[in-house]
Amino acid sequence: MLTTPRALLDSFLGAFSRLDLDAMLACFAPQATAFFPVAHQQTRLDDKAAIAAAFAAVLAQLRATRMTSLPIAAENLVVQEWDDTAVATFHLRGVYLSRRTLVLQRGAGEWRIVHLHASNASFAD
């Protein structure tokens, strides 16, 4: 049950780590939007179907390298909550410094992602 913003984040990041597209998508509201890193998608994704297609392509790229899971550790996680809205920001470290912002909304007692903004930055030399 996704009854807290943290439970939603744990569910989404766990599903992504397992490369489980269906479980990832269950974390999104139907009207969700997203910006993926430019390497994966150059335009805003305007609904859950577009987000599903973009994540499916990312997971296919990972599986093509024979990956069966992806270690994901949210660093510097901050969750700010106001009534039925929350914003979560964090970093993922890897080849890039990956910055993530998720806007969450509570409806019918459960939290869902209504917007995801993902960007990658090069590490400073």
Report the chain's mean pLDDT, rounded to a whole number. 92
How much of the chain, in percent, has pLDDT values that exceed 70?
94
Distance, in Å, from the CA atom of 18 to the CA atom of 22, rounded to the nearest integer, reads 11
Give 48's Cβ-side CA count (13 Å radius). Answer: 14
The model's pLDDT over 4-26, given as tens digits with 9 standing for 90+, comes to 999 999 999 999 999 999 999 99
Domain-embedded: residue 44: yes
Distance, in Å, from the CA atom of 119 to the CA atom of 125, rounded to the nearest integer, reads 19
Number of domains the chain contains: 1
Given a contact cutoff of 8 angstroms between Cβ atoms, the answer to whether 9 and 74 are in contact is yes
Asked whether the predicted pLDDT for residue 50 surpasses 70, the reply is yes
Domain-embedded: residue 124: no
- Kindly report the CATH number assigned to the domain that includes residue 14: 3.10.450.50
The model's pLDDT over 26-36, given as tens digits with 9 standing for 90+, comes to 999 999 999 99
Alpha-carbon distances of 11 from 18, 24, 46, 121, rounded to whole Å: 11, 8, 22, 25
> Can you give the residue range of the structural domain that contains 71?
5-118
Domain-embedded: residue 125: no
The model's pLDDT over 92-121, given as tens digits with 9 standing for 90+, comes to 887 778 899 999 999 999 999 999 999 988
Domain-embedded: residue 123: no
Domain-embedded: residue 84: yes
Domain-embedded: residue 43: yes
